[in-house]
Structure formats: C-alpha cells, structure tokens
Homo-oligomer: A and B are copies of this chain.
C-alpha cells in the first residue's frame, strides 16, 4: 500500500492540477475531514474545498466534481453505504479519489478506491490516524501546487509533535474527566461550543461521543454564532463545554468564555493552549487542535461511561436493526 504522500504525488502526476478538494463521509468520519477542509479554505489560492455528508455529494453534486477534483473519503468500517456510493460516483465523474478505512477487507480498501488502510490502536500515532493522514495529503498537495506556500515544514513539524502533545494532555485531564462525570452525569442536556477548524469537534463530541455513545441529549454550537441566538438559553442551570482552539478563530471562543464566566455557572473549558498545542508553530497549530479535542472527547466520554454505567459500544439501532 502506498503512503499518503506517494498516493497524492501519483494522483497529481496523473490528473494534473487539482482545483477542487471534496472531503466527504458520514458521522464521525466526516468530523475527521473538517480540519483539512478548513485548512484548504484558509491557505489555498489554487483550490476550493468542500465538506459535506456523502449522501449529499451524490444527490446534489457540484459541477466541479470532475477531472481536476480530488475526493477524500473515510469510512472506519469501510462499507458505509453512502460513502461507498459517493466514491463510486466521484470516480464516474472523472474525479480522483482517496479512501481511508480501518478495515482492510472492506469495499473502501479495494485497490480501485486508492485506499489508505489506517491502524486504530491505542498506540497508533496521530499522524497515522485519519485527521493526520488528511493533513499529510493536503500539505504535500499544497507544496506541489503552490510555490508561495510557506507552511510545509511547520505542518510536518506539527505532525511529528502532535502525538506527544495529545498523550500528555490525556494524562493531564484524567482527573478532570472523573470530576466532570461525578458532577454532571445526570445532567439532562448540554451545549458544546467550538469554532474554526475545531468546530468539527463540537459537532463530533455531540453526535458521536454523547448522542451515539451515551444516548445523551446535547447540541453543538459555533462559538461565533452563540451570540446571535443560542446564548439566550444561558443561565446558572445550563451546562456548557467550550473547546478553545488557537489561531485567529480563538477570539470567538474567548468571547464565549467571557460570557459564560459572567452568566453561567456550569461550564467546562477545554483549552488547547493550556493543553500544550503551542509546542507546534503558531502559524499552523490551529489545524492540530481538532486532534487534541478528539482525544479529549474520548477522555470525557470514558469518564461518563464509567459513572453512568452506559457502555460506549452499546447500540440500540446502529448495526442492530435495519434502517
């Protein structure tokens, strides 16, 4: 199997210039693709990026889904119906595909899918997990395609450092996650906020870690949008988790924090700066915050699982009934 770097070089050699990058999947895999989308949006002068659920790629396809487009997909189990259909459709349209999966026996791992089969062990390095792989692909692509791109080395350095930062942060928050679960395990509802590249993790924390794995009701909010409606719900009884990222978007998280400090009583701040993300160059570390926040969502949901006695792997519908 080719490395992500080999794969993107081969695709560019064959396809020529990439003009559009589509990042598409479902649920938790879709979450993992958002930082790459945000990165291309913010950095590229030659490529547009698109982030959407795999079904929508097929039912309402962009006319830029054609030769010159790169479609990056991800399906952990490798047989997600919508994702497989999106990959096939993208190929029919003339686009190049790269498909990440954890399952080497799956449809997504077939050679025609340009597969990257990733490992998913506790010991797996962050740069070898989907979020890291996407950054490796897109960093190479930016370097090949844009002579003015200056962040290549900083991203490579970030990819080397990310795993250590994440592991240290997981240790650091262990006790906090227990205390959080102890205080809030019976909470009927909470809001989770984030912005920038990390908005994806507010979404993923909500739909995967809590709604799916804990059957806990919650809602994701964009920290910037909080002030244009959702903040009217804030009071001393409502619970919030605020993901504070870095980079230019951080001002939105800081504004939300100031508001929560004044008007809320129950809120948990998960601050990438405090958790060591600054060891990565500040010109790019915002793109690595989502990796860190994903690990934090795992830590917090594990705390909740133990206190609530609700196994993370328990499902009543997914993989259990027909739908």
Interface on A for B, CB 8 Å cutoff? 20, 26-28, 30, 38, 41-45, 48, 50, 53, 55-56, 59-64, 80, 82, 188-189, 195-196, 206-208, 211-213, 215-222, 224-225, 227-234, 238, 247-249, 251-252, 255, 258-259, 263, 315-318, 323
Least Cβ–Cβ distance between A17 and chain B, in angstroms: 16
What is the chain B residue whose CB lies nearest that of A218?
A: B219
Residues B26 and A224 in contact, CB atoms below 8 Å apart? yes
Besides A211-B229, A231-B323, 13 new A-B residue pairs in contact (Cβ under 8 A), listed by A number: A20-B48, A27-B225, A42-B60, A45-B64, A56-B224, A59-B248, A60-B249, A215-B233, A218-B219, A219-B219, A231-B318, A255-B323, A259-B323
Number of copies: 2
Residues A41 and B27 in contact, CB atoms below 8 Å apart? no
The CA of A233 and the CA of B210, in the complex, are separated in Å by 9
The CA of A259 and the CA of B61, in the complex, are separated in Å by 26
The CA of A247 and the CA of B60, in the complex, are separated in Å by 9
Residues B59 and A252 in contact, CB atoms below 8 Å apart? yes
Least Cβ–Cβ distance between A264 and chain B, in angstroms: 11
